[in-house]
Amino acid sequence: MTDDKPPPPADRTPPALGDFGQRLRRAQGESEQTQGPASGVNSRGLGLAFRMATELVAALIVGGGIGWFLDRWLGTRPWLLLVFLTLGMAAGMLNAFREAKRLEREG
């Protein structure tokens, strides 16, 4: 059983593929219109939130590390760890507060 249909011409694109290209271009255009400039603002805010959270965690880790090291060295467990954890927490919150104030002045 052989197929009696002639092969399609090489320069002719099947209708389904041509239609797909048009639909794809239309969808990409709609996607760019729906996102617009507002999506940049959202990603900037998300980046700032991650930065502030990272600064808070880093301050706690540094304060806790210093307190732990001094406690082991001086034998004052757990007092210096608690003091430096508290200082780290205060430093992280102060940095976040300063950043929020700076953003408020800019906005």
Q: Is 81 exposed, middle or buried (CB count within 10 Å of its CB: 0-12, 13-18, 19+)?
A: buried
Q: What is the pLDDT of residue 51?
A: 93
Q: How far is CA 53 from the centre of its chain?
A: 12
Rounded to whole angstroms, how far apart are CA atoms 35 and 54? Answer: 28
Residue 104: its pLDDT value, please?
92
**Is the overall model pTM greater than 0.95, yes or no?**
no
d(CA 65, CA 76): 14
Residue pair 55/92 in contact by the 8 Å Cβ criterion = yes
Q: 24 pLDDT band (50/70/90 cuts)?
A: confident
Q: Provide the CB-side half-sphere exposure for 98 (13 A, CA).
A: 9
For the cut 80, the answer to whether the pLDDT of residue 68 exceeds it is: yes
The number of C-alpha atoms within 13 Å of 1 and in the hemisphere containing its C-beta is 0
Per-residue pLDDT at 7 exceeds 70 = no
pLDDT value of position 39:
59
Residue 31 has pLDDT above 90, yes or no: no
pLDDT surpassing 60 at residue 38: no
Q: What is the mean pLDDT of residues 15-19?
A: 69
